[in-house]
Amino acid sequence: MRRHLLRLGKLWLCLGLGLGLGLNGCAGTAKLLDFPFDTGGRSLNSPGAEIQPHLVDRYLVFVSDRRGSQDIFLFDALERRLIDLPGLNSLDTLASHPAISENGNYIVYQATRQGKSSIYLYDRQLFQVRNLTENLGVYVRHPTISANGEVIAFEAAINGAWHISLVDPSGKPLDLPTLPR
């Protein structure tokens, strides 16, 4: 992928120098890559808002309101196109904070359905969504998944403050020392 990105990078407009990037010490080679902007909403950036990106190798998941509702999108940086996520975005949910595993199979995200916030795991092979926090009974947000797909972390409101929760892809809490609740 690196070679591909490099090759593509030559085609992309390098804005780095113009914006004053890459002139600072060790960061001398850092530059901005110009990913496509498409008014039709078929690419990474659109006339709508694109927020909360999570990058793992070729996969870039993010949230956009380009279709009029807040949905999760998956962009393939190698082939420079969007990948369909059938069954993920539904009309009655407001989705946010997606994260993807490096094999592209798992996407975790927070969604609010009927006023209740949960952490969901989308399986891209089975096109199925599973609620990982159904029985937790607390407010949850900001999920993420490790690139190897083995650990999921999110915030849970416990005793009046945000705390870190860690579970495996089945939703089972990791065996870790915790404060007494």
Partner 1 sequence: MSPAIVVMKRLLLPSLGAVLVGLGGLLGACDQNPPAPSSINSRYTDEQPALSGNGQFVAFVSSRNGISQVLLYDLKARQFTPLPGLNSTMTIAQNPSLSRNARYVAYLAGNQGKPDLFIYDRVTQRSEVLTSGYRHVIRSPSLSPDGRYLVFETDRRGQWDIEVIDRGAAIELDKPEG
Contacts to partner 1 by CB under 8 A:
2, 5-6, 9, 19-21, 23-33, 35, 37, 44-45, 47-57, 60, 62, 77, 102, 142, 144-148, 150-155, 159, 161-164, 166, 174, 176-179
CB of 41 to partner 1, least distance (A): 13
Q: Which is nearer to partner 1, 112 or 144 (CB)?
A: 144
Q: Which is nearer to partner 1, 87 or 173 (CB)?
A: 173
Q: Which is nearer to partner 1, 114 or 160 (CB)?
A: 160
Distance (Å, whole) CA 13 – CA 10? 8
Show the CA angle centred on residue 174, arms to residues 169 and 178, nearest 5°: 145
CB of 55 to partner 1, least distance (A): 4
CB of 140 to partner 1, least distance (A): 12
Name the phi and psi angles at 63, rounded to 5.
Answer: -110, 135
User: Which own/partner contact pairs does 53-56 have at CB distance under 8 Å and 24+ positions apart?
Assistant: 54/98, 54/99, 54/100, 54/144, 56/99, 56/100, 56/101, 56/102, 56/147
